[in-house]
Amino acid sequence: MNLIKPKQLQIGDKIRIIAPSGPVSKTKIELAKEYFEKKGYKVELGKHIFDEENYLAGIDEYRLDDIHEAFLDNETSAIICARGGYGALRLLDKIDYDIIKSNPKIFCGYSDITLLNAMFLKHANLISFSGPMAQSDFGNNIEHYTEVSFFDVLTKQNIEIKPSYPKFYKDGNTEGVLFGGNLATMVTLCGRDFIPYSDFIFFAEDLNEPVYKIDRYFTQLLAIPEFKNKLKAIILGDFLDIDNQKYFNDFFANLSQELDIPIISGYPISHSKVKVTVPYGAKCKLENSILKITDYLA
């Protein structure tokens, strides 16, 4: 797989904020716009960013248009998603992946945006970023760690991601592209062509999911032979508000023995305000629990 790398972010670049999923708060989007402008960036909002259609940020056609227009705009350097929620799944079969592939840009989001990260990697070979979003982070008193990680990752070529409080279900060193994201969202891709061409390190986080559902999600993914064969390690971020920590630990302890691959938890990959920015699809080495990522920007 020949990975396509976006250009690194520079002061003065234009950032476009779009809403591919749920409806947004105009106040918080305007605060995010003001935040980036104070940092020295130009900001343009997607044409339909404030549209609403029930639980969606406008009809599918308009949300799709905003994605395509953002990538087609030669002046835009980075695309930051407004929020997650639901809606990206409805667009996956309608996206023109040739547009994405021919106009590589920084693209960042998490939660429901995981679907776009995964499909951009598989169908456009684009390295994107799992990280903070306009409404939930930049428009809402962004945490210092989250802010520093975002700009470090988008302006440097070499980064390391370390677990904040490591728990080793099984230790070990390996390598592969970084792939994963919000676990419940990833499972909605089952039945589609979404698994990377290369071996991968799977990172996962979630919130408000009981352990039996976490078990269900991993069981469903691991039932796909291609997924299981290419899986080289599992990196766990925050699983917020789970119902039973013992069940959680027992599940991953048993899974580590079954798969015989490294499974390590405690990474700052999260739905919380404190989150690391992860280069999605970048080549990575896992060494002594540290994710070492290089050469992911043009």
Residues sharing a CB contact under 8 Å with residue 35, sequence separation 6 or more, in sequence order:
138, 139, 142
Out of 157, 173, 203, a domain closes at 157
Using 50, 70 and 90 to split pLDDT, how confident is the model at 233? very high
Out of 157, 186, 206, a domain closes at 157
Q: Do residue 63 and residue 141 come from a single domain?
A: yes
Residue 104 has pLDDT above 90, yes or no: yes
In this structure, is residue 177 part of a structural domain?
yes
Q: Do residue 150 and residue 284 come from a single domain?
A: no
In this structure, is residue 215 part of a structural domain?
yes
Q: Do residue 151 and residue 170 come from a single domain?
A: no
Residue 1 has pLDDT above 90, yes or no: no
In this structure, is residue 9 part of a structural domain?
no
**Parent domain of 60:** 14-157
In this structure, is residue 8 part of a structural domain?
no
Q: Region 263-271: what's the mean pLDDT?
A: 97
Helices (H), the chain: 26-38, 60-72, 97-102, 114-124, 144-155, 183-187, 211-222, 225-230, 245-259
Question: And the tokens for 48?
Answer: 């339909």
d(CA 28, CA 5) in angstroms, rounded, equals: 30
Residues sharing a CB contact under 8 Å with residue 68, sequence separation 6 or more, in sequence order:
95, 96, 99
d(CA 210, CA 240) in angstroms, rounded, equals: 10
Question: And the tokens for 109?
Answer: 């989001």
Structure confidence at residue 146 (pLDDT): 98
Residue 175 belongs to a domain with what CATH number? Answer: 3.50.30.60
